[in-house]
Amino acid sequence: MGSTVRHSDENRSLQLIFPTVVERYVLPDAGPVNSALVTSVKALSDKTPNGRRDGYSCDVYTTYGVEERLYDYPEFAEITDWMLSCFAAYAQRMSYAMSPQGIRLTQCWVNIYQRGFAHELHTHPNNILSGVYYVKAPPGCSEILFHAPHAFSMTRPERSVETDFNRVSYAIQPRDGDMVVFNSAVKHNVPPSVIDEERIIISANALL
C-alpha cells in the first residue's frame, strides 16, 4: 500500500537539521606569503623527524606529535595569526560563545603529501574547531573529503541520483591560499596523491 500512496508538497515539509558547516577563507595576495612559507616548511622538515605513527595506514610527512606549536615560530607568526582570525570569524558566524580565555590555537603543524601519500579517515578530538591552510595545492592535487556521521553505516540505501539531501560525503578541491575551517568532530580524509608536485598544508586546532 505504501508504495502506491503519493504525497503532495502541500501535505509534507522538509526539515534540514544539524547542518555540517564548512567554510572556506581566501588569504589576499597569498603568493608572496606562500613562497616564504614553502622555504620555512622546507627548513622545518629538514630538521624535524616525521611524526607519522606506526599505526597509520597511509604515507604522509607530518610534524604532528613532534612539532605542533608553529605559532611559536616567528616565520609562521603571520599565517597562524591569520588562521586564528578565520577561526574567530567562523565562531562568530556560528554564534558560539567564548570562554574567559578566548579563542586560542591548541596545536599547529605541517603535513606534506608526495605522490601516493594520503591521510586516513580521522577527526580532531579534544578540540572545537579545526582548519587547514593550503601553502601549496597544485592543480590535480588531492581533495579534502568530509563525511556525514552515517556515511559508513552497514545498511545504506542506494541513490538513483546524488543530491544535497542524500549526499554522505563532500569533496573540496583546495587552492593555494585557501583556509578550510570545520568542526573538529567531522570525519575527513585525503585520498592518495596522483601528481608529482608536493601538496603542503598547515593544520591547526582551536578552542574557544
Contacts of 63 (CB under 8 A, 6+ apart): 44, 45, 48, 51, 70, 109, 110, 111
Q: What is the pLDDT of residue 134?
A: 98
Q: What span, in angstroms and rounded, lies between the C-alpha atoms of 98 and 70? A: 23
Q: State the Cα angle at 108 between 36 and 112, rounded to 5°.
A: 60
Q: What is the pLDDT of residue 143?
A: 98
Q: What is the pLDDT of residue 56?
A: 74
Q: What is the pLDDT of residue 3?
A: 67
Q: What span, in angstroms and rounded, lies between the C-alpha atoms of 185 and 125? A: 7
Q: What is the pLDDT of residue 24?
A: 98
Q: What span, in angstroms and rounded, lies between the C-alpha atoms of 181 and 186? A: 11
Q: What is the pLDDT of residue 166?
A: 87
Q: What is the pLDDT of residue 86?
A: 98
CATH number, domain 20-149+168-207, options 3.40.50.2300, 2.10.10.100, 2.60.120.620, 3.40.50.300: 2.60.120.620
Ramachandran class of 9: left when φ > 0, alpha when ψ lies in -120 to 50, beta otherwise: alpha
Domain ranges of the chain: 20-149+168-207
Q: What span, in angstroms and rounded, lies between the C-alpha atoms of 134 and 144? A: 11
pLDDT tens, the chain, 208 aa long:
456 788 888 888 888 888 899 999 999 999 999 999 999 999 999 999 998 888 776 889 999 999 999 999 999 999 999 999 999 999 999 999 999 999 999 999 999 999 999 999 999 999 999 999 999 999 999 999 999 988 887 687 888 998 888 899 999 999 999 999 999 999 999 999 999 999 999 999 999 9
